[in-house]
Chain A
Amino acid sequence: MNFRVTRTLPLLAAGLLAAFAAHATEAEHIRASQAWIRVLPGDLPAGAYVTLENTGDQPALLRGARSARYGSAMLHKSSAEGGVSRMAMVDELPVPAHGKAELSPGGYHLMLMQATAPVNVGDKVKVTLTFSDGSTLDADFVARPANATSASD
């Protein structure tokens, strides 16, 4: 019995690895660009924006983010229906196959809170984006002034 387990375990592991390799992760096909953070004074929460491009044949689902520079990061969406500005947490943002999803001011964004140390304009902040299959993508977000309107203006 013991003999059997020790012989089959490596085989099983090899099989799983093969299956994993054949099935690419969501993050592998995502390209991040135009990544920036709007830095606000003090310890006010900051909005972070990025354009995600999916080069794969399968849709990907962005679930959230984390960064060593912030205590917490949440995926949010702003809306202005009926003349009222609202912000709500969202569970996921789909990035269609061979398509794009934009996190941009006034829409989807990451809300970064409790900076571990002050983030200054010009800093590059590493943010890890997490997808529904557990895969991750690291992207450098440029810290921009409060009155910026895009990644470069």
Chain B
Amino acid sequence: MIPIDSRMKLCRSRRWLMLLMLTLGVLLLAGCHRDDGIEWRLTNVSDHMPDLDFQLVDDHGKRVGAQDYRGKVVLLYFGYTHCPDVCPLTLAQLHVVMQRLGPLADGARILFVSVDPARDTPEVMHAYVNAFDPRAVGLSGPARDIEALSKRYRSAFTREPDRADGQYEVSHSSAIYVFDGKGKARLLATPSNSQDDMVHDLHLLLSLGSPS
């Protein structure tokens, strides 16, 4: 039988050991997030999503790729122009966010990728994106290239059955993917995020990106 005195000592040393391990654990965790001590309000997807990569056609009819937007914070959103409610709402909200960012917004681009390339020609896309924000770019292209980009970000879109008038809707991801100036996936915004959250995080990301 161990005397009470040494039993207490044992308890105490165990407690110390646990405390030490806890401290080490916290330090280790802190070390992992050392380069990103920022409290993002949107979902942090750094290292969880692939870098920006695509080959599409912009709203001037020019072939473009992710490298054309290096140095810019990219807000990637999938939609289509025949969508009268949600897509315009999202783009209008992004326009307000850009306005609130002031001159910093020049360091960002809204890339609106069409999930309806059959109807969304570069001309249609050009008139459409410019009705929202001068920093918005409309991207379209062959269906397989759009599918490739969509799949890369685990986003999906589905063409719904034609209506009696021959028109149709396309269901699509409601998320906005945010990439930094190096094309690294950083944040994910969903409709549940407020405009304040968007402005807060983009302000940080744009300030970090600009040379000091």
Contact = CB atoms under 8 A, between A and B. Distances in A.
Given A80-B191, A145-B131, A149-B89, A44 B82 contact: yes
A76 B86 CA distance: 12
Interface string B60-90: 0000000000000000000101111111110
B152 interface: no
Interface in B115-159: 124, 127-128, 131-133, 156
Interface string A111-153: 1110000000000000000000000000000000111110000
Task: Name the interface size band of chain A.
Answer: 20 to 34
B156 A45 contact: no
A85 B172 contact: yes
Contacts of B171: 84-87
B85 A41 contact: no
A47 B88 contact: yes
A109 B175 CA distance: 21
Given A42-B124, A44-B128, A148-B92, A83 B85 contact: no
A45 B88 CA distance: 11
Contact of A72 (B131, B165, B174): B165
Given A38-B88, A46-B84, A105-B85, A147 B127 contact: no
A106 to B, nearest CB: 5
A84 B175 CA distance: 8
Contact of B174 (A41, A80, A109, A149): A80
A40 interface: yes
Interface residues of B, number: 33
B173 A84 contact: yes
Contacts of A147: 88, 91-92, 95-96, 131-133
Interface in A20-45: 38, 40-42, 44-45
Contacts of A84: 156, 171-174
B194 interface: no
17 contacts: A40-B131, A42-B124, A47-B88, A78-B85, A84-B171, A85-B86, A85-B87, A85-B173, A85-B174, A86-B169, A105-B89, A106-B86, A145-B131, A146-B91, A146-B132, A147-B96, A148-B92
Interface of B: 79, 81-89, 91-93, 95-96, 124, 127-128, 131-133, 156, 160, 165, 167, 169, 171-175, 190-191
Across the A-B interface, give the 8 residue pairs with the lowest CB-CB distance, nearest first.
Answer: A146-B131, A41-B127, A47-B84, A105-B89, A85-B174, A45-B84, A147-B92, A47-B85
